[in-house]
Structures are given as C-alpha cells and as structure tokens.
Structure 1
Amino acid sequence: MSEAAHDLHAEQRRTGMWRNRFLALLDRTPVPTAICHLDGTIGVANPAFAEALAVRPSQLRDRHVLEFFQAKVRRDYDKLVAGLQRGGRARLVIAVQFPGGTGELTVQAVSDDDGSGLLLTLRITPVPADVQLSDREAEILRLIAGGATSAAVAAELGITGDGVNYHLTRMSDRFGVPNRTALVARAYSLGLLDPTAWPPR
C-alpha cells in the first residue's frame, strides 16, 4: 500500500471514529435533536426528538421535517428556505406546532465533508398545569373544535347540554378566553389539539 493510500485509510478511520462518537453522544443527549439534508429530509434523529413526535427514531429517517412541524408564522419558514438558497448560514428560531405540542425549532446550517445539512433542535413549550384537560374536557373540546354544537356534543357523550356548557365555561375561565372560538384557538396554540389532524384530536 502506498503512503498516500495508507494516509487516506488512516484519515477515513479517524473520521469514522469521530462520526460514531458523535452519533453516540447524539443518542444520549436529552435535547430533541435531528440532522437533515438541506431539502428538509431527516437523516438522523435522536431518541428525544423521536419521543417528542411520538415515533421511533427509525421512523423519522428519510421523512421530510414538514410532515411533522408546522411553522406558526409561515414567513419564518419561507425566510429560512430563502436564506439557505442564498447560501446563508444563519441560525433561525421558528415557532412551531407539532402533534401533541408546540415549541421552538432552532434550525442552523452546518457543513462537513459530506456537504451541507441542517441541525435541528426542539424546545418544547410545556403545557401549564392549569390548562391540563380531563378526559371529559378533552372529548368536549375535540367535538367543539370539529364544529359540533353543545346539543350535538351532549347527545354524543350522553350528558346534558347544560353539562357541556358548564365544562366549556370552566375551560374558558382557566384558559383566560371569552368564548368557545377563542377556547379552540388557545387549545391549538398550546398543543392540546393536533393541528395536522382532521377531524380534531
């Protein structure tokens, strides 16, 4: 083996060793983290990232990040894409909704020997304890979000219309909103309703 080939082989071994160490560290970090291609296709995600999305890490590979996240402000996502197309390397924090929650997705372009990619980290917004829902409240909210009237909800759940209105009033008071329309909007913003699902759940 020539000296150049030997040096190349040694460098490849060192690169592989550092890549394996990085992946082991990624798996152990509690911060939800993923690495994507520039087009948004997920290459690797750690268990914390997968857990936030209620899937296994292997189920994220080769899926597009926008299958799971919706930018709360669409122009933020458009700004990110435009910046990357211009070769930008800026770090951008985007408010997002995802099944089961809301949070901030930090997106940063990174480069290595294989080219450029995106490093994603997710900060999940905790749901305040005073807006946790009982099973009954969650059922009522889901049906109301789907457009059901109080009478229709009462018939579906086998309770009275006054019972439905009682629950809606209590939830509105806890969420600090004036009516059921605002209640539904607040529930989506807190991640209590899945923004990607119809009918609501």
Structure 2
Amino acid sequence: MSDMGLSTLLERMPVSWWEADEGLRIVNCGGGAFHDPGTAQRFVDSLGGTADAAREGAAAEGRSGIDRRQVRFGGRLFDVTSFPGRLAGDGRGGVSGLAVDISALERGRHGYAAFTDFADFAPAAAFIRDAHGRYLWANHAYAHLYGTTPDAVIGSSVTDVDAPEDVATFQTLDRQVLSSGKPVRHTIGYHRPDGSPGRAVGHRFPVAEGGQTCVAGIYIDITDYTLALSRRRAAEEDLQALSEHSGLPCALLSPGGRIRRVSASAAELLRVHVPDLLGRPAHRYLAPADDLAGLRHAWRDLVNRRWRRFQTSAVFLDARGDEWRARVLLTAVSGGSRRARGVWAVLPHHTLPHPPLPPLTAAQLRILTLLSAGHGNNEIAASLRLSRQTLDYHLARLRELLAAPTRLALVSRAYVLGILDPQAWPPRSAVGCRPAGPC
C-alpha cells in the first residue's frame, strides 16, 4: 500500500499520527481521531517533554527510545506510542507518534466490572468450577448456602465445600455438561451445613475461563418454597378430607360470592350435583327473606376484612323448590391484600326441607317465642296488649300455617321449621345475624 493509501485509510480510523520538530511543533499529521491540526497540536502539547526525555534516555543507554503509555485527552482515553526521529527516517531531529482511541475498550471493561458486581451480589447462587472440581469463582449467595464467604469457597475443591453425599452427584453433572457442551436446567437436592435437606432450581452450563472450559451454575434456593408448598398441599388434602368425610355441609366462596368448592353433603341438601354447583353464584340458592339485607352487609364486612367471622342464619332453596333454614358460620380466608381471598361457609345445623311458608308477622313471631317459653294465653295477651279474641285469631292462623293442631305441636313445628333458634334461651326468632369475632 502506498503512503497516500495508508494515510487515507488512517483518516477513517480513531487514530492520530504526527511528526514534530525538536520544539514539539507538528510539521505533519493525520488520522481520524482529531478533525484539525490545532487539536492534534494541543494533544501533543499535553504529552509534555515525555518524547524528549525518552529520546535523551535512549541516546544515553543505547535503546530505541520508544515510549508507550495511556493518556486522557478531551474526555477520551488514548494508547500513545512515541519515538525519536521522523517517520521519513532522514535523520533530522524531532519526534513521531501514534495515538489510538481506546475509549470504547475502557467502557467495555467498566460494563464488565459492573456486571461482575451485579453477579457478586445477585440473590441467585452462582459459581464457576474447573474440570477438576476446583472453584474459580462463587458469589455471596452461593457461599451463604454453605454458611461461609466467597473467599473461603474460591480455590477450594467441591469435595471441601459440599456434603460427601452430594459430591458424586455434582461431579457427574459437571462431566455431563463438559462432555455435551450444552446447558442443562434442572432441580437438584443438596445438604445444608446443619445436615438439613435443601432444594434448588437453575442452570448449569459450560463457560470459557482462563483458556479452559469450565462449568458454571446459577441456582435459586427453593427449599422454603417447596416446604411451604408441601404444607399447603397437605392442608388442602386435610381440608378436602374433612369436607368430604365429616358430613358437614360447607362451601368455599369467592369474594364475588361464586362457589369454588362444595362438600357432597351441601350438594345433597340443595339436591344438586357437585359439578353443577361449581362456579355458580351462591345467592341463587337463598330464598327471599327479610334478613337478606343483613347478610349482604355481613358479607361486605368479611370480604373487606373488617370481620374475621360472622354467624347468621339463612333460608335456602333447593332444586325442588323446598325451603330449609340453616345456621351459617362465615369465615374469611386471609390473603396478602386488603380483601379476603375467599369465604368459607359452614352449616353446622339445618332444619328439614319444607314447602315455602308465607312470612310471619312480628306479632306471630312474638307469640311463638312466648308459647315456647311456657306462657299461658292470658300472659301472652297481656304481654302483647292483645284481646283474647285477637290472640285466639293469631293462634288459629298459626296452627293453619304450620299444620299444628295443638299448642305443643305448634312449638315443635316452629323449631323444626327453623322459625325459632334451637340454640337460644329464652326462646327467640332464628331470623337475624350477628358477628362472631373481630378481624
């Protein structure tokens, strides 16, 4: 290549070359690092008397006088080579030099250093081992798994760090990766320093390190997650067994009131198959009643976690159109958010199914409670400020509605049909709900 061709090539590259006289004044220059001779002159001036010192030292010691160093100029880093004499080699005094812009390489090194810092303190455990099982590098998360520090791991062997029962497995995995040259994703078991078992999931893959092929691995410890998952699965199995085999009617409802899970006994009460209940709104199986407004209010308190439990009673409607009243215990299922993940509904007591009854008046409910408490007609009439004729009318109407010919039958039917609360004394109406405990 001619000198002209070489000069044209250098004009397109991030380099600068120059020839300067003994006073370091540029007499010839080129390259693409600087756009004008004035900038090139300032660059040479920034080098100071280095070139003269090199030339004088070389003359005294019989060396070539070549000086190599790195210099920052204008926010960039240059690799500079300067030497005595002109490029033409005509013997005239002066100095020549070549500067290569290596700023991009420096940025690359800084990026690699930043990545190294990131890897050192990443929460995932990572390591590099050579083919002989010697640790070349390990981060803090990996050392933490073994209760030590990275400095104690690096340089040691896998036989020194890992439990004896794990070494053979790890060495086999290393050999598989080195022989195949392909990464492997898997879940492995290991033993912690205290002897307890651990589980980790991640990748093991080949890397080039120090001129040799090594094995690198990066893993996330899932021991606690696996244990929590196992406990949750066991709890769900226990709950499933309880709901299926205890005979207790119960259902898990979503915050929106849809049926997620339901026991066979609850499905039997509703006379609907279990699969046909899943996903359906639970309110479809509630009979119209005056106390539904209180139930809806209680539901909002449970879902918004203002209450943890709520006890109430409700009238249900089965597939045949019959009604039955049940005591309902609603319990919110806690979640990570402000709203409950769901609500368990348990029916510890329920009445027999019966055709729908017309709603009873407040006076009729009061008469039934006083009758069940053992009061006579005169006491009931005086308590309600009714005439005997009016009381007799109410009693006759109640016997007709409940199909009960006597006072004793009237009280019994009131309990069987769920009109009166079977777990309360003095007797009271089963209609109504109340909180059973704060959130």
Q: What TM-score does the superposition give when structure 1 sets the normalisation length?
A: 0.58
Aligned amino acid, residue 264 of structure 2: P
Query: Which one of 339, 342, 350 corresponds to residue 117 of structure 1?
Result: 342
Counterpart residue number, 2:417: 190
Tell me the CA shift for residue 25 of structure 1: 2.1
Tell me the CA shift for residue 11 of structure 1: 3.3
Tell me the CA shift for residue 44 of structure 1: 0.4
User: Please, what is the CA RMSD of the aligned residues?
Assistant: 3.8
Asked if the contact 2:257–2:282 (Cα under 8 Å) also holds between the matched residues in 1, the reply is yes
Asked if the contact 1:27–1:47 (Cα under 8 Å) also holds between the matched residues in 2, the reply is yes
SS of 2:345's equivalent?
strand
Counterpart residue number, 2:302: 84
Tell me the CA shift for residue 72 of structure 1: 4.7
Asked if the contact 2:259–2:279 (Cα under 8 Å) also holds between the matched residues in 1, the reply is yes
Aligned amino acid, residue 41 of structure 1: R
Query: Which one of 88, 106, 114 corresponds to residue 329 of structure 2?
Result: 106
Unaligned 5+ runs, structure 1: 146-175, 192-201
Unaligned 5+ runs, structure 2: 1-200, 202-218, 359-393, 404-409, 419-439
SS of 1:178's equivalent?
helix
Aligned amino acid, residue 33 of structure 1: C
Counterpart residue number, 1:4: 221
Distance 1:85 1:46 in 2: 22
How many pairs align? 149
Distance 2:303 2:243 in 1: 27
Q: Write 1 or 2 for the structure with the bigger share of helix.
A: 1
Counterpart residue number, 1:178: 396
Tell me the CA shift for residue 43 of structure 1: 0.6
Distance 1:113 1:60 in 2: 27
Distance 1:106 1:116 in 2: 17
The structure number with the bigger radius of gyration is: 2
Q: What TM-score does the superposition give when structure 2 sets the normalisation length?
A: 0.29
Deviations 1:9-66 (A, max 9, x none): 4432332233223212221112111111111111101111111111122221111110
Q: How does 1:12-27 map to 2 (within 5 A)?
A: 12-27=229-244
Distance 1:18 1:84 in 2: 22
Q: Are residue 126 (structure 1) and residue 351 (structure 2) matched?
A: yes
SS of 2:247's equivalent?
coil
Aligned amino acid, residue 118 of structure 1: V
Tell me the CA shift for residue 91 of structure 1: 2.0
Deviations 1:54-108 (A, max 9, x none): 1122221111110112355123213213313543133222221112311222212
SS of 1:179's equivalent?
helix
SS of 2:233's equivalent?
helix
Tell me the CA shift for residue 8 of structure 1: 2.8
Tell me the CA shift for residue 181 of structure 1: 10
Asked if the contact 2:305–2:332 (Cα under 8 Å) also holds between the matched residues in 1, the reply is no
Tell me the CA shift for residue 112 of structure 1: 5.1
Percent sequence identity over aligned pairs: 18
Asked if the contact 2:302–2:331 (Cα under 8 Å) also holds between the matched residues in 1, the reply is no
Q: Are residue 97 (structure 1) and residue 320 (structure 2) matched?
A: no
Asked if the contact 1:107–1:121 (Cα under 8 Å) also holds between the matched residues in 2, the reply is yes
Distance 1:82 1:16 in 2: 29
Asked if the contact 2:255–2:303 (Cα under 8 Å) also holds between the matched residues in 1, the reply is no
Distance 2:246 2:306 in 1: 27
Q: Write 1 or 2 for the structure with the bigger share of strand.
A: 2
The farther-off stretch of 8-17 and 116-125 is 8-17
Aligned amino acid, residue 44 of structure 1: R
Asked if the contact 1:89–1:110 (Cα under 8 Å) also holds between the matched residues in 2, the reply is no
